[in-house]
């Protein structure tokens, strides 16, 4: 664990069990997100999820699941057959599996792009996005490539600095 | 002043974190954490009314620190606690 200019970085295998504990106690938890596995809706180090105790889990829900011992993902459920759950991150092509009991929390909304307003998973924006994005799975590979920042942000920042410097 | 109702000190991942158990949402993007001496003081004044002077006395008793330094630190800490809203007058 380290502190970087007022930011505390904690490894998932230590932090998430604590998050789950708080969820089980009945709290909701606002969790900053890392990684690219839920692109394009959610971006690395930019967005946060609002997590709650899971109830009425169904296909399409974004959930926090333990897919391997001490390994957690926040991905969308794409299939539930009996006790077996299949997950696929919106920014992924591959899937993970777990059991219903491994679903530790459900995301009821997201705080995106630094905003204070919640993009609720029961809201229109998420539902329309989900409808399209899940149906575009056959071409997801190409969409993700097109949406991927080909010029890394740090290079963009450098170019911007040069321009405004002149 | 006293600690607001429902505010508790929890050890989360090795850090002393203030959690508002009366409040439904725990926000991991904005955490209030206390260093070890602040956490000690918090535990000493839980459930009690206290002043910055009380904190200073506790510091002097527990740590090898000069009284004037303790007073200044205690004032600053009490002010911070009030400002972040975990303690009320």
Answer whether residue B10 shows pLDDT above 90: no
Q: Is A40 helix (H, G, I), strand (E, B) or coil?
A: coil
pLDDT in tens, B36-67: 999 999 999 999 999 999 999 999 999 988 99
Distance CA A31, CA A52 (A): 11
Q: Which superfamily, per CATH, for A2-139?
A: Umud Fragment, subunit A (2.10.109.10)
Question: What pLDDT is recorded for position A39?
Answer: 94
Q: Which pLDDT score is estimated for A152?
A: 65
Among the partner-chain residues A1, A28, A50, the one whose CB lies closest to the CB of B14 is A1
ipTM: 0.79
Distance CA A77, CA A86 (A): 6
A165 has a pLDDT exceeding 70: no
> Looking at the partner chain, which of B13, B25, B28 has a beta carbon nearest the beta carbon of A32?
B28
Q: Walk me through the domains of chain B, giving residue ranges and CATH numbers.
A: 2-88 (1.10.10)
Contact B27 A27 (CB under 8 A): no
The residue count for chain A: 166
Could you report the per-residue pLDDT of A101-127, keeping only the tens digit for each? 999 999 999 999 999 999 999 999 999
The pLDDT value given to residue B30: 81
In the structure encoding, which two tokens stand for residue B1, read together? 């002043």
φ, ψ for residue A34 (rounded to 5)?
-125, 150
Distance CA A27, CA B8 (A): 14
CA distances from B64 to A49, B2, B43, B60 (A): 44, 25, 19, 6
State the pTM of this model. Answer: 0.79
- The angle subtended at Cα A42 by Cα B21 and Cα A131, nearest 5°, is 110
Position A31 pLDDT exceeds 80: yes
Rounded to a whole number of angstroms, the distance from the CA of B12 to the nearest CA of chain A is: 7
Assigned token pair, A118: 């919640």
Residue B2: the pLDDT is: 93
Phi, psi of B23 (to 5 degrees): -95, 140
Of A45, A39, A101, A99, nearest to A75 by C-alpha is: A39
- Domain range annotation of chain A: 2-139
Size of interface A-B (CB pairs under 8 A): 37
Closest CA to A65 of A106, A24, A29, A30: A106
């Amino acid at each position: 664990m380290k502190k970087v200019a007022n930011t505390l970085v904690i490894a998932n295998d230590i932090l998430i069990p604590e998050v789950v504990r708080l969820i089980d106690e009945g709290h909701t938890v606002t969790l900053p997100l890392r990684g690219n596995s839920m692109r394009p809706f959610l971006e690395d180090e930019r967005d946060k999820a609002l997590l709650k105790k899971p109830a009425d889990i169904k296909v399409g829900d974004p959930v926090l699941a333990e897919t391997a011992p001490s390994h957690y993902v926040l991905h969308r459920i794409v299939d539930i057959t009996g006790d077996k759950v299949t997950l696929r991150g919106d920014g992924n092509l591959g899937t993970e599996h777990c059991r219903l009991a491994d679903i530790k929390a459900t995301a009821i909304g997201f705080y995106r792009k630094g905003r204070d307003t919640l993009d609720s998973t029961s809201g229109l924006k998420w539902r329309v996005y989900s409808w399209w994005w899940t149906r575009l799975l056959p071409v997801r590979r190409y969409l993700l490539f097109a949406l991927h920042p080909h010029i890394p942000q740090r290079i963009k920042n450098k170019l911007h600095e040069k321009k405004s410097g002149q | 002043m006293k600690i607001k109702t429902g505010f508790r000190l929890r050890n989360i991942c090795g850090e002393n974190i203030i959690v508002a158990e009366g409040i439904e949402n725990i926000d991991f993007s904005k955490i209030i954490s206390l260093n070890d001496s602040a956490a000690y003081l918090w535990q000493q004044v839980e459930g009690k009314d206290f002043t910055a002077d009380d904190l200073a006395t506790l510091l002097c008793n527990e740590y090898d620190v000069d009284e004037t330094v303790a007073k200044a630190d205690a004032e600053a800490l009490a002010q911070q606690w009030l400002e972040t809203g975990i303690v009320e007058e």
